[in-house]
Amino acid sequence: MLQYIDSCKDSSIFAQKQFRMMKKTIFFALLFICFGQWSMAQKIPFIIKASVYGGYIVPMTKNLDSIAHPPALGGELAIEFPSMGNYDWQHHWRMPTVGVGLLGINLGNPKLLGTAFAVYPYLLVPVVKTKHFHLNYKIGAGLSFFTKTWNDGDTLSGVNASTANSAIGSILNVYLTTGANFEFPISKQFSITSDIGYNHMSNGSMLQPNAGINMLQAMIGAKYLFPGCAHCNKPKPPIDGFPYDFSINLIASGGARELYYKDNKMYPIGSFHASMSANLTNWYALGGGFDVFYDGVFVQQGTRGAESYRNNTLFGRYFIPTEDLANKFRAGVCLSNEFIIGRVTAVLQWGVYVYDPIRNATHDPHPVYGDNRPMFYSYDIEKEDGWNYFRLGVRCRVYDNLFVNASLKTHLQKAEMIEWGIGYQIPYTKKQESDGRRGSYAVYHPDRKWKRGDPNKQWQPVGVESEDPPFNLGR
């Protein structure tokens, strides 16, 4: 009788979760319909695309190797907006297509992995375009939702911890994808499409466990163009060059994360980033800077030999024998790659720690250097963080030079934290003197209207004579 009651409870909980996911799916489907209705009302060309999905979960851990049962099958519905040439960045990126996708994937193990849903904006950048064949580079980022997490497998199904779902520790996660998109036009409005690529879903170590899911994927489908009113928005010619030459970026970020799933503790994290970058093209800037990180997880912890500190955490990756505020700070220098897409900038950074008090705070001494690791050394990422870090981020300008920032910091493939922040960009451009020559540098303000020759307002770049902002960064 008790088993029957427990079974009914499990079924009720499962039904409630399925109902919640169904409501989310209906919500996003209605959102797609609203997008389409709005585009038709505005006479904006748009595309509806439907695809079937097939994927392979890459077994990055022993746990995933035992519970992932390929293939992962699903489908995607997307709405796309082709460039009309109204913004300069569209010309610089060869008239890309902006899309929003709604993806559903059966992960191949209903009991432990369940189903994943993702909603994400993406960009298709043309690489090859002929009459009968288009090749695009696709990149996108958004949110993913899971019907099964670690808690479901371990507490509801009676599964051993070693074989439970240690890939996903939360219902809400990030979704990242990249790859190639192929299009085969059949007519002016109808095309066959295909995608091959890679995606990643995890929560950036906000909640543990968080091994994440990495998938190789392929899609095939069809799309139809609703042409709208093509002559209503005439393309404007792009302005040569970029409105500023170099910029300084200042960002303050914060957040929280777990260290170990058994602790059930959240620790604060934060960072400060300062960098300078130079615009090498109309869409790319290269620069460098420094970072200061604060990570509250580095409390007294760990075991080495007879010494053991387990009051704060049961985690065994680090050995920190003292409770010291200095242990929670790291500092590094970084190389920054910035891809400018109107108001949005995608950032990829690689950094090296120059101050790292836990460099030697590992469970075991280094086999070569012991407890005296140099700045650069060989290491096993499964046992320690190492001497370098990566950051993948997105910045969105909200007003003038003020922007919001979201980024994922990792040590190789191991996610460490998600940073949420606010920043300010100080872009410098050459003023134009009354004789037409370029003079000293001045701060550029993209959301201000100013006129060349007006000494009370900001100067325009050379060669632009307009009452409007000289460079359309996505207004």
Please write the tens of the pLDDT for every residue from 252-274: 999 999 999 888 899 999 999 99
Contact 439, 461 (CB under 8 A): no
Check residue 439 and give its pLDDT: 66
- Token pair for residue 47? 């595309």
Check residue 252 and give its pLDDT: 98
- Could you tell me the pLDDT band of residue 180, with boundaries at 50, 70 and 90? very high
In terms of C-beta density within 10 A (0-12 exposed, 13-18 middle, 19 or more buried), how is residue 344 classed? middle
Mean pLDDT of the 6-28 span? 51
Cα separation values, 129 from 44, 97, 137, 224, Å: 22, 13, 12, 18
- Could you tell me the pLDDT band of residue 229, with boundaries at 50, 70 and 90? low
Check residue 62 and give its pLDDT: 83
Q: Could you give the percent of the chain with pLDDT greater than 90?
A: 64
Whether the per-residue pLDDT at 290 is higher than 60: the answer is yes
Angle 94-96-99 (CA atoms, 0-180°, nearest 5)? 175
Check residue 248 and give its pLDDT: 97
| Residue 381 or 469, more confident | 381
Lowest mean pLDDT among 30-39, 351-360, 466-475: 466-475
In terms of C-beta density within 10 A (0-12 exposed, 13-18 middle, 19 or more buried), how is residue 346 classed? middle
Distance between CA 219 and CA 196 in Å, rounded? 7
Contact 118, 146 (CB under 8 A): no
Q: Among candidates 169, 171, 150, which has minimal Cα distance to 159? A: 150
- Could you tell me the pLDDT band of residue 160, with boundaries at 50, 70 and 90? low
Whether the per-residue pLDDT at 456 is higher than 50: the answer is no
Mean pLDDT of the 320-333 span? 96
Whether the per-residue pLDDT at 88 is higher than 60: the answer is yes
| Residue 30 or 101, more confident | 101
Mean pLDDT of the 4-8 span? 46
Check residue 2 and give its pLDDT: 43
Whether the per-residue pLDDT at 457 is higher than 90: the answer is no
- Could you tell me the pLDDT band of residue 471, with boundaries at 50, 70 and 90? very low
Distance between CA 109 and CA 153 in Å, rounded? 11
Cα separation values, 323 from 386, 417, 469, Å: 22, 21, 54
Q: Among candidates 337, 58, 68, which has minimal Cα distance to 199? A: 58
Amino acid at 28: F
Note the pTM of the prediction, 2 decimals.
0.83
Whether the per-residue pLDDT at 192 is higher than 70: the answer is yes
Contacts 24+ apart (CB under 8 A), 374-383: 376/352, 381/411, 381/412, 381/413, 381/414, 383/317
Check residue 453 and give its pLDDT: 41
| Residue 161 or 385, more confident | 385
Lowest mean pLDDT among 27-36, 39-48, 134-143, 165-174: 27-36
Distance between CA 243 and CA 240 in Å, rounded? 9
Mean pLDDT of the 96-113 span? 95
Check residue 75 and give its pLDDT: 97
Whether the per-residue pLDDT at 34 is higher than 70: the answer is no
| Residue 353 or 434, more confident | 353
- Token pair for residue 93? 């990126």
